[in-house]
């Protein structure tokens, strides 16, 4: 058991070393962003998936508050 755990940890470590990627090139070739250039932070828009994640997290928060209040009311009676 101990030998298999140690060998799997060593394998995972060695495998992760081969997965290191190169850094992406700097936008605008390393120059300052000018008119018509790519912004330094990248140009990817925040799409609909951000709104879905936000609405799900708000719903989850409301559910936790509802369950907490319900539990407190049941304990008081």
- Over its C-alpha atoms, the chain yields an Rg (Å, rounded) of 25
Question: Domain residue spans in the chain?
Answer: 48-77
What gap in Å lies between CA 65 and CA 54, rounded to an integer?
17
Residue by residue, pLDDT tens for the chain (77 residues) are: 788 888 898 888 887 766 666 777 766 666 666 666 666 666 667 777 888 899 999 999 999 999 999 999 888 77
Q: What is the pLDDT of residue 49?
A: 83
């Amino acid at each position: 058991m101990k030998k298999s755990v140690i060998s799997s940890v060593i394998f995972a470590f060695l495998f992760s070393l081969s997965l290191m990627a190169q850094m992406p090139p700097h936008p605008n070739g390393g120059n300052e962003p000018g008119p018509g250039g790519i912004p330094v932070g990248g140009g990817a828009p925040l799409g609909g998936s951000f709104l879905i994640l936000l609405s799900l997290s708000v719903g989850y928060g409301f559910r936790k508050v509802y369950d907490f209040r319900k539990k407190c009311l049941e304990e008081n009676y």
